[in-house]
Structure 1
């Protein structure tokens, strides 16, 4: 079996549904491949191989990925494909999860406040608010990573600033949420619970938007460290199909794997660069 056939994997594009075979050399420095049908970026972190188990087992990660792990191939938020239909549910989950965790942390923080006041007096109040900022920032960093795979800065200063800013935003939404509780209390028993449930759903969504927005303000990105060198078109001499290839997909011997017939052919030296221009799809020359 040739080396080229051992280093390929089939992936299905979440955007257009097309399935293509990709070589390990076609993986960009940021850890994604570009769909050869719609030019959509397929993030390899969490991508589902569409090939057989044998093909999945034959696939080998590039040496750089094997050394650092796929987690190092972080795709910045602004460069990710985001299916809108899942956004609302995940925002609702983010806000609701934060509220539940925050409710549990409230009792812990109250105990800490009493302890700080007993030990350090008025100075303990400042220590307490510092602890609150770290707790709020830490919880949102965890949820942003778990729900959205957003990587936030984890230095103490960043976590504290993260927490203080988010605390201020959620304080405003909390006051607005209190109005729902007050309206529900005045509406009478028959409307109390419907209003409360509506308030929980609405403000969980609002809190989710606030939490994700603040998380993105403290996002850590490697995008500036490594940029793709662009795309170039090449025509396969075996099947006659023309595709756009990332420069990084060209092997050291100057060959690429055709994304239509999977044959290895020398990359055309006179191919035209397309850089960041979108690929309209398969072009048959």
Structure 2
């Protein structure tokens, strides 16, 4: 991308690193020229490049897409967890970026999929935060954990939750981005549990974790056995992010168990972010 002919003044951020996790997943870290904009964990930002095909260009000549931020607001870089879309308008260009390359990043972060929108009851000190992701829908939850986990670990009175669980569903074990980081949080903190599942991992691969879909890990007996407590509408706030089919399926499943979708004027326990 170093030879890009896009007007240099449109690009306002520099690539610091671009780590390929496999042939389709990568973690992109970016330093905006004016510093990372303010955001709340769970929000997203638009980033862009000059398109490979002219028909993909927007009015300013760039192709732009929204991405949830995987880094915490206290970190100096913006971090993105991205899956390659074959023949996509933007992701092939993002995957090809190298350190020192330039791109465009919006100066404004948006979105309401944040802990600030959770209802006042239960109080944070009594809240079980259960985060369910498929694919790169994990990004908002890594941001939340990095930002709010240290306060919970320190036993701070302003911690945003009592217990936190991240359930992550992928097809293959090689798609479990951030697994080492999340496993370390799980190993070192009794208030945090990481539950990875693989739905299509070959039987002879050596994978010793759970197999199946995320809904199986959320069934009452399985969840309580793994996490040490029960899902309870009085304590649990459920955040779903990822494949729309997964979100719809779990929203219906939770409704049958007494959980309802949260709305500002009608507080509930289930919060949704459909993530393509």
Query: TM-score, normalized by length of structure 2?
Result: 0.25
Greater RCO between the two (CA within 8 Å, min separation 6)? 1
For the pair shown, the structure with the greater C-alpha radius of gyration is: 1
Q: Which structure shows the bigger proportion of residues in helix conformation? A: 1
